[in-house]
Structure 1
Amino acid sequence: MNKIITCVSIEGKKFFRSKVPLLTMLALTIVPFVGGFFMFVLKDPSLAQNLGFISAKANIMGTADWPSYFGLLAQAVAIGGLVVFGFITSWIFGREYSDRTIKDLLALPISRNIIVFSKFIVAVLWCLMLSIIVLVLGLIVGKVVDIPGWSFDIMIQGTFIFMVCSILTILLSTPVAFFASVGRGYLSPLGFMVFTIVLAQFIAVTGYGQFFPWSIPALLSGAAGGDSAMIEGISIIIVLLTSAFGLVGTIFWWRYADQS
């Protein structure tokens, strides 16, 4: 237990001394402000037009209310999180190869399993923290914009869907760690992320998104007209199995692959 705490501390220091936490925070915290801007425009399109925020020819569609706002936040974390959370994971695992510190790391008298788990713990904790920051900031921005339709029940439901989408998206980051390890750097996991995002959009359009893990968080959030009611237990199981395969695959790679 002491070893894993020490490893998590070391991995955390390496991570927070880089620019990745700042960049990823900036990338996600812009979401509430963009969502608040859309809600402001939808509340009074004529006022926004007079202030010069939108053109006279702009076609504004949608409603300005809290359910729509929570849905927008959930969609952003479900789709944008695939990129941001995946980037975090690819950096934590891929940097050891890019910086050529992998040999020194594996020479330490510490189990490779502990090293892998420590990296995953740091990645998950920071991704969860980013999700919470986005949610809290979103609530503040929503109150400032004075979005109509607020109620405690809507907040509970919107927060629940947002956090479920966040957790599912974070779980889908484990295969990224596997490709970062196999590819020994950043390019393979980044290519994998682009491929899964494009494929997720295509499969969702065909109507089978509830069976493709990278489409499930977006469908749950209601992105692209998706119905969250179509997400059933089998979809959650698929995400969990995908995450488990990524975790186990990464552990086995670090334990048995040739690291020379």
Structure 2
Amino acid sequence: MIKIELYKIIRGHIPIYILAFYTFLIFIHMQDKTWGAFLSGTFFMYSTVIGLIGFSILSTWVFGREYQDQTYKDLLSLPIPRTSLVTAKFLASELSFLGITVISIMLTFILGYCFNLADFNVVLAGNIVKRLSIATLYNIGLSFLFPFIASMVRGVLAPVSISFVALIIAVVFGSHSVGPYIPWSIPGIYLTNPQLINWVGRMSVSVIVFIGVYGTILWWNYVDQK
């Protein structure tokens, strides 16, 4: 099932669109003079824009397209437990997010090299990449809420709209004292100032993950009883 879902994602071309948009964001920072400024700026844009909106759109599409294309009835009629179907979609989405992140990191360093940036430091670059990796895990967890919304509304418009609201919330509250406690602000804050994120912030992300994953599983199993 995971291979099938990955195939659907690849055929949908959304990962390509996400990478293309991130490439555009990289060129916005081509005027940076040093590797430190370049990596900090581009990875922050990746975490806040791609991580919040891009991941949310992709996870929404993975579930919502079944309703848009009217294929969910055929999918639900298969002799496969619905929990397995949902789990396969979540795992395929997660693998896609990780693949997009790895390619984006490689793309960032390749273009940074082409921009002839100064003061490259292996330790600094490694620390920034490490923080981005953890911030990406937060983003992946937060994106799992949107399949639940897509399943409830049986479409993609509402969850995609909410993802933009989530970005606005992250931007507005990210610089305030309450930022470390708001789930959608946490990835960006962790990337720039990881010591600000405490157990309360991590717990808030865990709650979102729990609601998204188990809510979607229960919803699909509830539909099975209809």
- TM-score, length-scaled by structure 2: 0.92
Q: Pick from 31, 50, 54 the counterpart of residue 38 of structure 1.
A: 31
* 2:156 paired residue among 165, 186, 200: 186
2:54 corresponding residue in structure 1: 84
Output the aligned Cα RMSD.
1.8
Partner of 1:68: 37
Candidates 178, 202, 205, aligned match of 2:172: 202
Which TM-score applies when normalising by structure 1? 0.80
- Rg comparison, structure with higher value: 1
Name the CA distance, whole Å, in 1 between partners of 2:25 and 2:9: 23
C-alpha contact 1:67 1:154 (8 A) present in aligned 2 = yes
- Is the 1:90–1:176 contact (alpha carbons within 8 Å) kept by the matching residues of 2? yes
Shift in Å, 1:234: 2.9
Alignment-derived partner of residue 200 in structure 2: 234
Match of 2:23 among 22, 26, 29: 29
Higher relative helix content: 2
- SS at structure 2 position matched to 1:38: coil
Q: Distance in 2 between matches of 1:205 and 1:136?
A: 29
| Contact residue 74 and residue 162 of structure 1 kept, 8 A | yes
Residue identity in the other structure for 2:47 = A
Kept after mapping to 1: 8 A contact 2:142/2:208 = yes
Question: Secondary structure of 1:182's match?
Answer: helix
Matching of residues 47-58 of structure 1 within 5 Å: none
Residues in 2 aligned to 1:258 and 1:23: alpha-carbon distance in whole angstroms: 34
Q: How does 1:85-234 map to 2 (within 5 A)?
A: 85-222=55-192, 227-234=193-200
The alpha-carbon distance between structure 1 residues 68 and 233, as it changes in their structure 2 partners (threshold 3 A), is farther
Over the matched positions of the two proteins, sequence identity in percent amounts to: 28
Q: Does the 8 A contact of 2:9 with 2:62 survive in 1?
A: yes
The alpha carbon displacement at 1:85 in A equals 0.6
Superposed structure 1 runs of 4+ greater than 6 Å apart: none
The match for 1:16 is: 10
Is the 1:219–1:228 Cα contact (8 Å) retained in structure 2?
Answer: yes
Structure 2: runs of 5+ lacking an equivalent: none
Note the C-alpha offset of 1:205: 4.1
Identify which of 201, 212, 216 aligns with 1:246.
212
**Deviation (angstroms), 1:259:** 7.9
CA contact (8 A) 1:31 1:134 kept: no
Deviates more, 1:162-171 or 1:194-203: 194-203
